[in-house]
Amino acid sequence: MAVGQTSFPEMTTVAGISLGTTNAGIKQTERDDILILEMAAGGTAAAVFTQNAFCAAPVHVAKAHLIQNPRWLLINSGNANAGTGQQGMDDALASCSDVAQLVKGEPTQVLPFSTGVIGEHLPMEKMTSAFPAALANLKESNWKQAAQAIMTTDTFPKGASKMIELDGEKITITGISKGAGMIQPNMATMLCFMATDAKISQDLLQQCLSQAAELSFNRITVDGDTSTNDACVLMASACSKAAEITADSENYAIFSAAITEVCKQLAEAIVRDGEGATKLIRIHVEQALSDAEAVMVGKTIAHSPLVKTAFFASDPNWGRILAAVGRAGVENMDLNKVELYLGDVCIVEKGGRAASYTEEAGQAVMDKNEIMVTVKLGRGEKAQEILTCDFSYDYVKINAEYRT
């Protein structure tokens, strides 16, 4: 089940970036579950990772290898290789060595990523046997195949692509993401792999990705759970004819905005595909003292099971939203200044139910499958938006049966 437009978009290939997929039979044999991404020599890479203390073995290895000018990404679905102790670390390192041997590179040039069930060891023999087939399948056009190979409980592959011009030369940005459950960003929250043909230093690319992730993946939540395996990678092949992007330039501002836009599209696709989701909810918090305060209020609403189940039932139970705002931790909040809206319908003002509000008006908004909730705190000028979805019967069913 997914909300709204879920068709895979037209993807522009990125010069210097090739992707190959195959099926290793890790958990299923119906679709590919191994992805190898290869970048031409001379590029740079940046990444952000989960802050879960129990982060998976591949996260530890990818962090260590990131500073070694990586050229290959190795991703498997069906098994998270998390909570697997020293053997998990050994397996992650061995998989990098196996790929490196096949491509005649260094193990430290390979970043490993895994997604799936926690607490089970990787089927190394199956995976190693599949690597040659994935490498033989390397193509610049394999973005959809790659998006499908990294899926777990996702119901559709997720992608986004954008082209910009810098000083008359074109630059491409293309990316894929996966995620439907265990989604609460603490950068990041899911897997995302992006590529561009821009020429840019590793430090500046890292700055760009970190900013983009904060404004996109760190603004979504499905269920409030931060995964052990979350990661977002941005690779820049330097194959565009455009001049190198430098800090504090207009070109960097344009490039950074485009990266953020692609990240936001990929992040929204994850929420639309939230496990069991029937509705997409945009929570816009305005008039906050700070961005952090606006995010805090938005996430408190988004994480509330009572709010999320009310949305699933199309029940305009605005008291649940009001209660969430009240417990968000805003200091010295003036209740008489707070206003709440469902769509353009004011439901709360001056400390209580709006005089103009009717149940019929609230119901008309709740019956939609995409809903805007607006909170005006009356405290300042900062605003932030959080994306979330409802909680349905299917969310419980999907996660109750996840390992079966």
Q: Are 334 and 375 in the same domain?
A: yes
Q: Are 290 and 255 in the same domain?
A: no
Within a domain: residue 194? yes
Q: Is 189 an annotated catalytic residue?
A: yes
Within a domain: residue 205? yes
pLDDT of 280 strictly over 60:
yes
Token pair of 166 as six digits? 């810098």
Q: Are 297 and 266 in the same domain?
A: no
Domain termination residue (choose one: 238, 271, 304): 271
Domain termination residue (choose one: 271, 300, 318): 271
Of the residues 189, 226, 300, 374, only one is catalytic, namely 189
DSSP for 105-174? --GGGEEEEEEEETT----HHHHHHHHHHHHHT-BTTTHHHHHHHT-SS-SS-EEEEEEEEETTEEEEEE
Within a domain: residue 3? no
Within a domain: residue 107? yes
User: Phi then psi for 375, rounded to 5 degrees?
Assistant: -120, 120
Q: Are 229 and 320 in the same domain?
A: no
Range of the domain at 57: 17-271
Question: What's the pLDDT at 184?
Answer: 63
CATH number for 262: 3.60.70.12
Q: Are 366 and 384 in the same domain?
A: yes
pLDDT band at 348 (very low <50, low <70, confident <90, very high): very high
Question: What's the pLDDT at 396?
Answer: 81
Q: Are 262 and 301 in the same domain?
A: no
18-68 pLDDT tens trace? 999 999 999 999 999 999 999 999 999 999 998 788 889 999 999 999 999
Least confident of 266-280, 292-306, 312-326: 266-280
- The arithmetic mean of pLDDT across residues 7-14, rounded, is 95
CATH number for 319: 3.10.20.340
292 or 398: which carries more pLDDT confidence? 292
Q: Are 150 and 289 in the same domain?
A: no
Q: Give the number of domains in the chain.
A: 2
Q: Are 233 and 328 in the same domain?
A: no
Stated pTM of the model: 0.93
Q: Are 122 and 260 in the same domain?
A: yes
Q: Are 166 and 242 in the same domain?
A: yes
52-66 pLDDT tens trace? 888 899 999 999 999
Within a domain: residue 11? no
In our burial notation (b when 16+ CB lie closer than 10 A, e otherwise), range 376-395 reads bbebeebbbbbbbbbbbeeb
pLDDT band at 222 (very low <50, low <70, confident <90, very high): confident
Q: Are 263 and 226 in the same domain?
A: yes
117-175 pLDDT tens trace? 889 999 999 999 999 999 999 999 999 999 999 998 889 999 999 999 999 999 999 99
Domain termination residue (choose one: 271, 296, 323): 271
Query: Is 328:298 a contact under the CB 8 Å cutoff?
Result: no
Q: What angle do CA 275, 281, 283 make, to 5 degrees?
A: 130
Q: Are 250 and 390 in the same domain?
A: no
Query: Is 351:384 a contact under the CB 8 Å cutoff?
Result: no
